[in-house]
Chain A
Amino acid sequence: SAVISQKPSRDICQRGTSLTIQCQVDSQVTMMFWYRQQPGQSLTLIATANQGSEATYESGFVIDKFPISRPNLTFSTLTVSNMSPEDSSIYLCSVVWANPYEQYFGPGTRLTVT
């Protein structure tokens, strides 16, 4: 399976600022996704990060708030812009590597907005 790292692992940010989360994979993957998970809740898909083109966002998520980059097949970033306390959550990247249906998750970034 692919080894996935995320930076930072956690952060505490001020309201109105932005945070960029990095997701690095040790091998080329076909698909990369960004999820949000509130404590004790299920996973909510934010967007699919497309290599070399704009991300595909799910309903309720927009590019201005969550800009995503994926410059190559092993790396992606998610920016949480103009943060508010409601953005406090765990942000997870996941990848599809070999089997097209198996998703592998990074360790997550725990974000607290004050």
Chain B
Amino acid sequence: GQQVMQIPQYQHVQEGEDFTTYCNSSTTLSNIQWYKQRPGGHPVFLIQLVKSGEVKKQKRLTFQFGEAKKNSSLHITATQTTDVGTYFCAGYNAGNNRKLIWGLGTSLAVNP
């Protein structure tokens, strides 16, 4: 079945360092979404990417969708302690928008 792989699984950074998580699908996606889950919290929608090669920015966060629509990345510039949490990518398989396929997540720890 379709899989969405996410790396790394864990990342520890010093506050102020940059952070990147990568998401790779075995099949072409119609769109990809990113969610953030704080410790003890629930997933919160961050952004959706639809177009091939699309790049979107939210303050210190930069999201990219690959040209082949099979991979995506989230980059955080100058991390802060408020960035702590698990970042999930999730995508819909092209031609089947019924079920969202979730990545395993990347847990980010930020040392002050």
Q: What is the count of residue pairs linking A and B with beta-carbon distances less than 8 angstroms?
A: 41
Tell whether, in the assembled complex, residue B104 and residue A104 are in contact, meaning their CB atoms are under 8 Å apart: no
Q: Does A105 contact B (CB under 8 A)?
A: yes
Tell whether, in the assembled complex, residue B105 and residue A42 are in contact, meaning their CB atoms are under 8 Å apart: yes
| Neighbouring A residues of B68 by C-beta, 8 Å | none
Which of A44, A99, A107 is in CB contact (< 8 Å) with B48?
A99
| Neighbouring B residues of A45 by C-beta, 8 Å | 99-100
Tell whether, in the assembled complex, residue A43 and residue B102 are in contact, meaning their CB atoms are under 8 Å apart: yes
Tell whether, in the assembled complex, residue B104 and residue A42 are in contact, meaning their CB atoms are under 8 Å apart: yes
Tell whether, in the assembled complex, residue B88 and residue A43 are in contact, meaning their CB atoms are under 8 Å apart: yes
Residues of B within 8 A of A (CB): 31, 33, 35, 41-45, 48, 88, 92, 97-100, 102-105, 107
With A42-B104, A45-B100, A101-B48 known, 10 other A-B pairs at CB within 8 A are A42-B88, A42-B105, A92-B43, A94-B43, A100-B97, A101-B31, A101-B97, A103-B100, A105-B44, A108-B42
